[in-house]
Amino acid sequence: MNAMLNHPAIQSLVLPPLVAWLAIWLLGRWAGPRWAPLGAALGLLAALAVLPGFDWPALSRVQKLPWTVLAGTLVAGVWLWKKPVPNRPRMRGVALAAALTVAALGLAAFGGLGGSLLLAQLALMVAATTAVLGLWVWWRPASGLRASLASLLPGFVAGLFIAVSLFSALPDQPLAGEDGLYYTPQWK
């Protein structure tokens, strides 16, 4: 069972959406539709607690990601507490959730094709939890949920953090006409 939980597909595509769905459902039952969308952020936090975990002191970028998402979740909670979600009946934030999901999937593809497989897995976690929120709002309009900017803030912060980590870790490419250090030794 433990080996199954350590599989990257389970950690990024099964655990985060399950926990996000459960958190959205529980928050919807106990706290109402205003607070229920924060369940996606709680699902992401729970998944990040499994991989990579909340290490202190956080020295690497991957170790800083859960703390950044936790800070974004706290800001989102304060935002929802101070300012109520506006009642816009048309799309209810579905387009924003879909855009964030597609952007996170793009980061996962970029990370998987040449960046970092760990960052790709973390981007899949963001995509999965955001997709759960967007699909819940879209499929269940009678639930009264709205994917507000505040509820999408932790996922956006995580995606932005992953994007900065991916693009800052890219190796410098040699200019045209230059010899690569590993392909043409300089000692000839």
pLDDT in tens, 104-156: 999 999 999 977 899 999 999 999 999 999 999 999 888 888 898 999 999 99
Question: Given a cut of 60, is residue 178 above it in pLDDT?
Answer: no
Task: Note whether residue 184 is domain-resident.
Answer: no
Is residue 21 one of the residues assigned to a domain? Answer: yes
Q: Does residue 176 fall inside a structural domain?
A: no
In a domain, 82, yes or no: yes
Percentage of the chain lying above the pLDDT 70 cut: 85
Q: Considering the domain boundaries, does residue 185 fall inside one?
A: no
Q: Which of 34-43, 45-54, 69-78, 164-173 is the least confident region?
A: 164-173
Confidence check: pLDDT of 24 > 70: yes
Residue-wise DSSP of the chain: -HHHHTSHHIIIIIHHHHHHHHHHHHHHHHT-TTTTTHHHHHHHHHHHHHTT---SS--SHHHHHHHHHHHHHHHHHHHHHHSPPP--TTTTTHHHHHHHHHHHHHHHHHHHHHS-HHHHHHHHHHHHHHHHHHHHHHH-GGG-----HHHHHHHHHHHHHHHHHHHHSPPPPPPTTPPPTTTS-TT-
Within-domain flag for 108: yes
Q: Which of these, 124, 125, 136, 127, lies nearest to 94 by C-alpha position? A: 136
Environment class of 73 (CB within 10 Å of its CB; exposed 0-12, middle 13-18, buried 19+) = buried
Looking at the predicted structure, is the pLDDT value of residue 174 above 80?
no
Least confident among 2-11, 23-32, 177-186: 177-186
Domain count for the chain = 1
Looking at the domain assignment, is residue 112 inside a domain?
Answer: yes
pLDDT of residue 83: 78
Q: 6 pLDDT band (50/70/90 cuts)?
A: confident
pLDDT value of position 70: 97
Task: Examine residue 174 and state whether it is found in any structural domain, yes or no.
Answer: no
Work out the pLDDT band at 89, boundaries 50, 70, 90.
low
Q: pLDDT of 10-23, one tens digit each?
A: 889 999 999 999 99
Q: Which is higher by pLDDT, 173 or 127?
A: 127
Q: Is the pLDDT of residue 90 over 60?
A: no
Query: Whole domain around residue 41: which residue ranges?
Result: 2-168
